[in-house]
Chain A
Amino acid sequence: MSIEGELRIELQSQDQQVRGVTIQSSRPLQLPSLFEGKTPEAVLQMIPMLYSVCANAQAGAAVTACRQAMEVGVESRVSLAESMLILCETAREHLWRILIDWPGFSGETVNRTYLSDLPELMKQAKCACFGEQGEAFSLQPTLQLDSEGFRRLIDILSRTSEQAVFGLPPGQWHSMCDMDDFHRWIDDKATAPARLLANVRDKGLCHLGGAEITALPDFEVQSMDQRLQQPDADRFVALPEWDATPRETSALTRQATHPLIKALQSDYGSGLMTRMAARLLELSSIPGALIDLLHKLMGEKSGQQLEPVHGTKGVGLGIVEAARGRLTHRASLADGVISRYQILAPTEWNFHPEGVVARGLLGLPAGDEAALRRQASLFINAVDPCVGYRLEFA
């Protein structure tokens, strides 16, 4: 088995339509067992090394779980800075997908100019919050805020998003609520993402994959805690369902209440156009959200402590909205070391064998295998697994 594993997605066709979808995962879900017997401090060092793609979201969920299990409080400004880092990472992940994957779908090449500021972005963001030697996402880090430094990073995100994605300031794009404005933006074809959306629309693919959404609700932390204590918890982590239903957690479920997404859903359901627009919308919201968080942080009194959250004694849950959806970590402590560690990642929700991807791929036209591969890839990319996938046809 490869270290990172993969998703195998098989499409079974009959009468020129996809009639069956099988999704199998070889992702190494046993990895968290590695943390058992280790101290929380050791685990917090290991997590970003192992889970290095969304390392900040993973570390944020882990540190929240460990603090809660240890009943350790944290300064409110630290908590705000950690939220800023996770949001910054979400923007970077969205930009990577939009700037690297999307051009290929419309026959364009990747423009590396726009990517040049992104590789160092998270390192610089951590440095702006916790200093050169500071340890972000440790149990009780010391904030060393360089507000001007962080503001410059927001400017980089904003500028990259404007030049490479929106063709206008992201905040202005985010305020777009009207379908006419949205189609006008597509028609201008000023950026590669706009051209891809024009391509999707002009080829009649807006409804593609538009199965009904069953969003993962805002559950009570205690409910998830109880679910992860059940004897079948390992199966739940591999094949999660909520209220006996596979659920979706993604940029689309997070942006579902925005007027533009409501309008798009009314026209195209949760199809490809709505999904791609939701990712753009989330990206467009982040520079403004980061500025708000930075102002809040700067206005917050130093030393103000957040009380430790009390739940089950010796158990902590960290729940974070990562780029691809909601991420849950649960840490159980006994005698100062981790006795059990569980991670439930968004890919397991969204790529459940009967989940949103499986249902969305059902019914795709299968007369032309090359066209089917392209359409299925577009849809899978729009939901966005955090692991490679292999598409097969039967």
Chain B
Amino acid sequence: MCLAIPAKVVAIDVQGDNATVVLGEVKKQVSLALVEDVSIDDFVLIHVGYALNKVSEEEAERTLELFAQAGVTP
């Protein structure tokens, strides 16, 4: 199904290799190996422990809304 989920970046480690993202009530650690120039408060698509790419806040909200309409929420 290849789903990737938008999540907000709330912390980035010193080396810039990993970030903490928030998805609903849940915090997760993800690798930033596949994205460049990520900052705190950015939204990224996450998949199996990796941030795949940055998305705008609006796009993230629209995508999460679609998931919610289908009955799947974080």
CB distance from B60 to the nearest CB of A (A): 10
CB distance from A62 to the nearest CB of B (A): 12
Complex contact A4–B47 (CB within 8 A): yes
Complex contact A386–B33 (CB within 8 A): no
Tally of chain B residues near chain A (CB < 8 A): 28
A4-B3, A51-B2, A53-B2 given; A100·B70 CB < 8 A: no
Besides the known contacts A46-B66, A112-B33, 12 further A-B residue pairs in the complex with CB atoms under 8 A apart: A3-B67, A3-B73, A4-B4, A5-B1, A34-B70, A49-B63, A51-B3, A53-B3, A55-B2, A100-B33, A119-B36, A119-B52
A-B residue pairs in contact (CB < 8 Å), sample of 18: A4-B4, A5-B3, A27-B3, A28-B70, A28-B71, A30-B71, A31-B67, A31-B72, A33-B70, A34-B66, A49-B62, A49-B66, A51-B1, A51-B3, A52-B3, A53-B52, A57-B2, A112-B33
Instruction: Give a binary string over A1-29; 1 marks a CB under 8 Å from any B CB, 0 the rest.
Output: 11111000000000000000000000111
Q: How far is the CA of A5 from the CA of B36 in the complex (A)?
A: 27
A residues 29-46 in Cβ contact with B at 8 Å: 29-31, 33-34, 46
Q: How far is the CA of A4 from the CA of B52 in the complex (A)?
A: 14
Q: How far is the CA of A337 from the CA of B26 in the complex (A)?
A: 36
CB contacts (< 8 Å) of B48 on chain A: these are 387-388
B20 at interface (Cβ–Cβ under 8 A)? no
Q: How far is the CA of A310 from the CA of B65 in the complex (A)?
A: 35
CB contacts (< 8 Å) of B66 on chain A: these are 34, 46, 49-50
Point out residues on A near B: beta carbons under 8 Å: 1-5, 27-31, 33-34, 46, 49-55, 57-58, 96, 100, 110, 112, 115-116, 118-119, 322, 343, 345, 347, 386-388
CB contacts (< 8 Å) of B69 on chain A: these are 34
CB contacts (< 8 Å) of B5 on chain A: these are 3-4
Q: How far is the CA of A347 from the CA of B47 in the complex (A)?
A: 15
Q: Which of chain A's residues has its CB closest to B45's CB?
A: A52
CB contacts (< 8 Å) of A31 on chain B: these are 1, 3, 67, 70, 72
Instruction: Give a binary string over B44-57; 1 marks a CB under 8 Å from any A CB, 0 the rest.
Output: 01011110110000
A1-B72, A49-B59 given; A387·B1 CB < 8 A: yes
Complex contact A116–B2 (CB within 8 A): no
CB contacts (< 8 Å) of B1 on chain A: these are 4-5, 27-29, 31, 51, 343, 345, 347, 386-387
Q: How far is the CA of A5 from the CA of B74 in the complex (A)?
A: 10
B40 at interface (Cβ–Cβ under 8 A)? no
CB contacts (< 8 Å) of B49 on chain A: these are 388
Point out residues on B near A: beta carbons under 8 Å: 1-5, 23, 33-36, 45, 47-50, 52-53, 59, 62-63, 66-67, 69-74
Q: B4, B34, B45, B63: which contacts A115 (Cβ < 8 A)?
A: B34
A3-B73, A33-B70 given; A110·B3 CB < 8 A: no
Q: How far is the CA of A2 from the CA of B48 in the complex (A)?
A: 12
Complex contact A119–B3 (CB within 8 A): no
Identify which of B5, B33, B35, B71 gathers the most chain A CB atoms within 10 Å of its CB.
B33
Complex contact A53–B47 (CB within 8 A): yes
Q: How far is the CA of A118 from the CA of B1 in the complex (A)?
A: 21
CB contacts (< 8 Å) of A33 on chain B: these are 70
Q: Which of chain B's residues has its CB closest to A31's CB?
A: B70
Q: How far is the CA of A250 from the CA of B52 in the complex (A)?
A: 22
Q: Which of chain B's residues has its CB closest to A55's CB?
A: B2
CB distance from A55 to the nearest CB of B (A): 8
Q: Which of chain A's residues has its CB closest to B54's CB?
A: A119
Q: Which of chain B's residues has its CB closest to A54's CB?
A: B2
Q: How far is the CA of A345 from the CA of B2 in the complex (A)?
A: 9
Identify which of B34, B59, B69 gathers the most chain A CB atoms within 10 Å of its CB.
B34
Q: Which of chain A's residues has its CB closest to B70's CB?
A: A34
Q: B3, B23, B74: which contacts A50 (Cβ < 8 A)?
A: B3
CB contacts (< 8 Å) of A30 on chain B: these are 70-71
Q: How far is the CA of A3 from the CA of B45 in the complex (A)?
A: 12
Q: How far is the CA of A54 from the CA of B4 in the complex (A)?
A: 10
Q: Which of chain A's residues has its CB closest to B60's CB?
A: A49
CB contacts (< 8 Å) of A1 on chain B: these are 72
Q: How far is the CA of A54 from the CA of B48 in the complex (A)?
A: 14
CB contacts (< 8 Å) of B3 on chain A: these are 3-5, 27-28, 31, 50-53, 387
Q: Which of chain B's residues has its CB closest to A100's CB?
A: B33
Complex contact B34–A96 (CB within 8 A): yes
